[in-house]
Amino acid sequence: MGDIYNFSAGPAVLPKEVLKKAADEMLDFKGSGMSVMELSHRGKEFTQIIESAEATLREIMGIPDNYKVLFLQGGASMQFSMIPMNLMTNNKKADYVHTGQWSKKAIVEAKKFGDVSVVASSEEDHFTNIPKLDPSTFSKDADYFYIVTNNTIYGTEYKDIPDTGDVPIVADMSSNILSVPVDVSKFGVIFAGAQKNIGPAGVTLVIIREDLVGKADEKVPALLDYKVHVDAKSLYNTPPCYSIYIAGLVFEWIKENGGLAAVEKNNQEKAKMLYDYVDQSDLFSSPVEPASRSLMNVPFVTGDKELDVKFIEEAGKRGLKTLKGHRTVGGMRASIYNAMPKKGIETLVEFMKEFEKDNKK
Ligand SMILES: *Cc1c(COP(=O)(O)O)cnc(C)c1O
């Protein structure tokens, strides 16, 4: 079988080196005679795994000391509820920027707990851009300001983080965390489901500024209270041990490969290859405004639904897998996360050229 390149939006491609290491350690983790899946979450081996995963993450992201790192369950979607339950507790107000289906779901949850002001939206443009933000429309007394830094389905990404003054920014970074360096101190909370750029599904990363912990109402269930997880160092109950282990290996892989600066350079080069080709193509086009284009998720279309189907089918036969666009958007989408090798994009672009030649409009 030839090489397979998986362009899935998530669960997504993982680094081969990480999978090989996990395979090597599968039956006997460091002489324990047990698999990581079989280790007690309170034993010394797993303690070492979770502590070093956090330490490596802190190092590669430059997370300041006044931020807590949590490994939770429930996916990014559970954060849509946990955020308002824990933070919309002062003035019971929050500002949201609406950039697609993930912000929509988050807005629906937040409305259950207080007043939501949608300060900007790209809905009228079918979410093909990150809307212009006008700080004069921001609520000065909002408990937080919510953004989705990368919109996985539509392929848009913030290039600048808004200045919200003293209002903490909450960022859903599920699909672009660890893709470029970020200044964590600009955020109150960063969260991300793991299955795009971190590791296997099952673990959700939450990075939260200390002063935002402990604000939940007394009636909030323990498992949904950040303070409970902070106090227990993510071990209030059994955590997703194996997912945390793989995430730790991915953090190591990033560190060994030059850290986030090197990751960004690589991601810029990969995305450029694909966008440059699409922009000069007579067959393919990108629906996304150039200034808002994502480095991680690249939607493209031929403008002919039947031709899109043919493309996806033929690409699959060449080992270029999971290129179908989101069911609500159609067309194609290449998700090119950190672990997608450059060779994968080269192979995709080569195939697109060939397809274009054979299917002239
Ligand atoms: C995938 C995704 C989610 C949902 O993640 P789950 O872990 O499935 O809940 C939320 N936000 C963004 C930006 C995503 O890409």
Tell me, in angstroms, the distance from the centre of ligand 1 to residue 147's CA: 13
Question: pLDDT class for 327, splitting at 50, 70, 90?
Answer: confident
Query: Which residue segments constitute the domains of the chain, with CATH numbers given?
Result: 5-11+259-358 (3.90.1150.10), 16-256 (3.40.640.10)
CA–CA distance, 68 with 58 (Å, rounded to integer) = 10
Other CB atoms within 10 Å distance of the CB of residue 272 = 12
Statement: residue 113 has pLDDT above 70: yes
Indicate whether residue 77 lines ligand 1 (CB < 6 A). yes
Statement: residue 174 has pLDDT above 70: yes
- Percent pLDDT > 90 in the chain is 98
Range 82-91 average pLDDT? 98
Average pLDDT, the chain: 97
Tell me, in angstroms, the distance from the centre of ligand 1 to residue 150's CA: 10
Q: What share of the chain is helix, strand, coil (3-state, %, to 5)?
A: 40, 15, 45
Tell me, in angstroms, the distance from the centre of ligand 1 to residue 350's CA: 31
* pLDDT single digits (tens) 273-283: 999 999 999 99
Question: pLDDT class for 1, splitting at 50, 70, 90?
Answer: low
Count of residues for the chain? Answer: 361
Question: pLDDT class for 265, splitting at 50, 70, 90?
Answer: very high
Looking from the CA of residue 150, the nearest atom of ligand 1 is: 13
pLDDT score, position 73: 98
Kindly list the catalytic residues: 102, 172, 196
- Percent pLDDT > 70 in the chain is 99
Q: At how many degrees (to 10) do helices 259-280 and 241-256 cross? A: 80
